[in-house]
């Protein structure tokens, strides 16, 4: 039986700005301070930890958005320790759970876990302990499929609840609920049953990655009520971002980059395929680097060995698929290089986030060419892309909506393409906007390639184009995604566009003359300005979702009535464009027509030189 999430209004209460959660006068404050010091060995709390703990201890549903490494675990482990009863923790990966339990047991906090592939006798033993009135466990970890598939577990929880012993329900890595996230886990969608069965038990949902739509999805799917949200800035000021053109000389470029900027320092190179990992590692060894590779088809012992070598600085560089990185806490990673296109901005942000945990300056360099987009897209369609460990092995289980999953993947990938092709806007702004965060590019202080470019920009009035795009969204009934609207605007003659051509007759092809990427940048700008809104639409009983562009009726008035001008910065036109072609020319009618031309322009070459200068001038 499929659990269908109820459609509820998504409302949040902002917790971060509410002083009451900082208070030191809660009945549990003394205990909290003492246990944080004595049991966990911490001198103080990190940003938002105390606030989150106070809110969940007060019985509210709480949603926590905190960067990786920010200290989310403490916000439920400490409450679990000082609350009567047991805390249920849903976590997506057995290896993560085992790691947590090891740490808890070391600190003398009794904890256990249940997973689907555990011996029956072992499970029985844990169930027996849970039934006992003197249950010793403070935390019980389970994987999501355990909740979805085990009636025995639900009965246990009901029994604990009826005895007043179910203190709290924690959903770790909560973004897995959402198909918008880069780690969609079908079994997470069934977790809404917990709030249905135990409406009075506080739920604490934690994640490091959530866009506005992921957030709405999570709150809705879990059925959180009057949820208090705590979030903090995702900006990482010590990371320097740049995008470089990827050519045939890519590995030489990488070698040069490392030797000039991070010689003998520690870094990760993310590669698309297992084969790439091995090839890149081999080449770097030839160039004299201490490099090795890490991917999903190595056996666990081999992987553990490589990871250990890397942690102990016996090797500097690890060439890995996204399978590498979960739970890695190495503080002195000086660079994260993407050898090919990441699959989403969220994934990219998280992978980059593994650099510079110690706060020291670190580099994030992405090598991009358009043909990688075709390659990733093809691999996604074949289901052969290596997933992060969170998602591996769980895709097929939700086949009813697998087309949707694919569409979402492509949408995420296209956003990454448009990030790479953007030569103007601050990289931080582009990433943070994606997490629903406002950011003033002046605060970048030239720590990204676009902000540090000497290339002059010109301001352009794009009000007319903006108005046309808004009209187009309205004329087509506010039913379509950004990429669809762009196709109509650029005058695509593909089947799906033709179908809706009559609605938008006058505007079909109105944007033909625009330079590549311009229309999509303008749409993104309108979304940032809240004039257009990217909405999610639940489309069937499986709760699958798609992105729909809508018009914010109140904000759009000024634009439509001619009282608002939209001014944007564009790179000043360069004289001659170098003519170099990438190895694959995209087929006509590809999803985003204005991206159909691979970007290998002059400005890019300039940018590359400047980045070299920038990074070596440290």
Interface residue list for ligand ADP (CB under 6 A): 42, 44-46, 49, 66, 68-74, 329
- In the complex, the smallest distance separating the C-beta of residue 482 from Zn ion, rounded to whole angstroms, is 23
- Give, in order, the Cα–Cα distances in Å from 361 to each of 335, 441, 610: 9, 18, 18
What is the total count of residues that contact Zn ion (CB under 5 A)? 4
When the beta carbons of 81 and 244 are compared against ligand ADP, the nearer one is 81
| Shortest distance (Å) from residue 474 CB to Mg ion | 43
**What 8-state DSSP symbol labels residue 542?**
T
Nearer to ligand ADP, 77 or 546 (CB): 77
Contact in structure between 90 and 144 (CB atoms under 8 Å):
yes
- The answer to whether the beta carbons of residues 452 and 439 sit under 8 Å apart is no
Contacts of 311 (CB under 8 A, 6+ apart): 330
CA distance 16 to 64: 10
| Alpha-carbon gap, residue 11 to 20, rounded angstroms | 20
31 binds, among Mg ion, Zn ion, ligand ADP, none (CB under 5 to 8 A by kind): none
Q: Out of 376, 448, 526, 591, which residue is the one contacting Zn ion (CB under 5 A)? A: 448
96 binds Zn ion (CB under 5 A): no
How many C-beta atoms lie closer than 10 Å to residue 228's C-beta? 22
CB of 172 to Mg ion, least distance (A): 6
Position 451 contacts Zn ion (CB under 5 A)? yes
Q: What does the DSSP assignment read for 389-452?
A: TTTTT-SGGGGGGHHHHHHHHHHHHHHHHHHHH-SSS-HHHHHHHHTT----GGGGTT-BHHHH
CB of 431 to Zn ion, least distance (A): 10
In the complex with ligand ADP, which residue's Cβ is closer, 172 or 407? 172
Closer to ligand ADP by Cβ: residue 156 or 207:
207
Scanning 6-14, 157-165, 436-444, 583-591 for contacts with Zn ion by CB under 5 A, the matching segment is 436-444
Residue 448 interacts with which of Zn ion, ligand ADP, Mg ion, none, CB < 5 to 8 Å by class: Zn ion
Token pair 């509820």 is found at: 8
Q: How far is the CB of 25 from ligand ADP (least distance, A)?
A: 20
Return the one option of Mg ion, Zn ion, ligand ADP, none that residue 451 interacts with (CB less than 5 to 8 A, by type): Zn ion
Nearer to Mg ion, 65 or 465 (CB): 65
In the 3-class helix/strand/coil scheme, how is 209-249 assigned residue by residue?
Answer: CCCHHHHHHHHHHHCCCCEEEEECCCCCCCEEEEEEECCCC
CB-based contact 211:346 (threshold 8 Å) = yes
Minimum distance from residue 72 beta carbon to Mg ion (Å): 5
Name the minimum Å distance from CB 427 to Zn ion.
Answer: 5
The stretches of 133-197 forming alpha helices (DSSP H) are 144-149, 151-162, 186-189, 192-197
Cα–Cα distance for residue pair 151/142, rounded to 1 Å = 13
Nearest-angstrom CA–CA distance, 512 and 324:
43
* Angle (deg, nearest 10), helices 274-286 and 250-261: 60
Shortest spacing between CB 325 and Mg ion, in angstroms: 13
Q: Which does 16 bind (CB under 5 to 8 A by kind): ligand ADP, Mg ion, Zn ion, none?
A: none
Q: By C-beta, is 77 or 242 nearer to ligand ADP?
A: 77
For residue 450, the minimal CB distance to Zn ion (Å) is 6
186 vs 353, beta carbon nearer Zn ion: 353
Strands 227-231 and 12-14: parallel
Subset of 69-88 contacting Mg ion (CB under 5 A): 72
Please identify, using beta-carbon distances, which residue of 448 and 566 lies nearer to Zn ion: 448
Nearest CB to Mg ion, comparing residues 72 and 434? 72
Helix axes 345-352, 427-434, angle to 10 degrees: 120
Site stretch for Mg ion (CB under 5 A), options 67-75, 331-339, 579-587, 603-611: 67-75
Q: Which range touches Zn ion (CB under 5 A), out of 163-171, 232-240, 440-448, 490-498?
A: 440-448
420 binds Zn ion (CB under 5 A): no
Binding stretches for Mg ion (CB under 5 A): 72
Binding stretches for Zn ion (CB under 5 A): 426, 444, 448, 451
């Amino acid at each position: 039986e499929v659990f269908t999430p109820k459609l509820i209004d998504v409302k949040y209460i902002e917790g971060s700005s509410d002083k009451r959660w900082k208070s030191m006068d809660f009945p549990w404050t003394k205990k909290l301070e003492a246990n944080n010091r004595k049991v966990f060995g911490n001198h103080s709390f990190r940003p938002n930890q105390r606030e989150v703990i106070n809110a969940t201890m007060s019985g509210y549903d709480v949603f926590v958005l905190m960067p990786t490494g920010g200290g989310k675990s403490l916000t439920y482990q400490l409450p679990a320790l000082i609350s009567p009863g047991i805390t249920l923790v849903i976590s997506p990966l057995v290896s993560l759970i085992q790691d947590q339990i090891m740490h808890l047991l070391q600190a003398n906090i009794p904890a256990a876990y249940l997973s689907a592939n555990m011996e029956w006798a072992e499970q029985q033993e844990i169930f027996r302990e849970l039934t006992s009135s003197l249950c010793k466990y403070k935390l019980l970890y389970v994987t999501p499929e355990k909740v979805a598939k085990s009636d025995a577990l639900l009965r246990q929880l009901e029994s604990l609840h009826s005895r007043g012993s179910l203190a709290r329900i924690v959903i770790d890595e909560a973004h897995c609920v959402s198909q918008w996230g880069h780690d969609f886990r079908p079994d997470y969608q069934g977790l809404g049953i917990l709030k249905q069965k135990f409406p009075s038990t506080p739920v604490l949902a934690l994640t490091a990655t959530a866009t506005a739509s992921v957030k709405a999805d999570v709150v809705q799917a879990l059925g959180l009520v009057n949820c208090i949200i705590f979030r903090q800035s995702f900006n990482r000021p010590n990371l320097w971002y740049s995008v470089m053109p990827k050519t045939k000389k890519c590995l030489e470029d990488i070698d040069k980059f490392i030797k000039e900027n991070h010689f003998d320092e520690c870094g990760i190179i993310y590669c698309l395929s297992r084969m790439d990992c091995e090839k890149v590692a081999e080449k770097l060894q030839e160039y004299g680097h201490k490099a090795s590779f890490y991917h999903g088809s190595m056996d666990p012992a081999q992987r553990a060995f490589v990871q250990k070598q890397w942690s102990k600085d016996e090797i500097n560089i690890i060439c890995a698929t996204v399978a590498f990185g979960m739970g890695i806490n190495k503080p002195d990673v000086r660079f994260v290089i993407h050898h090919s296109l990441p699959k989403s901005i969220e994934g990219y942000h998280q992978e980059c986030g593994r650099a510079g945990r110690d706060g020291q300056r670190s580099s994030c360099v992405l090598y991009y060419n358009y043909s990688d987009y075709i390659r990733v897209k093809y691999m996604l369609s074949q289901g052969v892309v290596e997933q992060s460990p969170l998602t591996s092995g769980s895709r097929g289980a939700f086949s009813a909506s697998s087309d949707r999953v694919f569409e979402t993947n492509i949408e995420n990938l296209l956003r990454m393409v448009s990030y790479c092709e953007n030569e103007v806007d601050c990289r931080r702004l582009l990433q943070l906007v994606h997490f629903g965060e406002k950011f003033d590019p002046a605060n970048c202080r030239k720590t990204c390639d676009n902000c540090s470019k000497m290339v002059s920009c010109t301001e352009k009035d794009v009000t007319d184009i903006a108005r046309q795009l808004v009209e187009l969204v309205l004329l087509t009934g506010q039913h379509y995604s950004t990429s669809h609207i762009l196709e109509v605007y650029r005058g695509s003659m593909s089947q799906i566009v033709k179908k809706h051509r009559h609605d938008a007759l006058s505007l079909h092809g109105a944007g033909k003359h625009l330079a590549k990427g311009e229309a999509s940048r303008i749409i993104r700008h309108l979304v940032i300005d809240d004039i257009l809104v990217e909405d999610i639409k639940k489309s069937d009983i499986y709760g699958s979702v798609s992105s729909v562009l809508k018009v914010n009726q109140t904000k759009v008035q000024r634009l439509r009535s001619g009282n608002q001008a939209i001014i944007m910065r564009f790179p000043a036109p360069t004289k001659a464009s170098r003519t170099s072609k990438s190895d694959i020319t995209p087929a006509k009618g590809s999803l985003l027509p204005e991206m159909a031309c691979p970007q290998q322009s002059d400005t890019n070459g300039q940018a590359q030189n400047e980045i070299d200068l920038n990074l070596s001038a440290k």
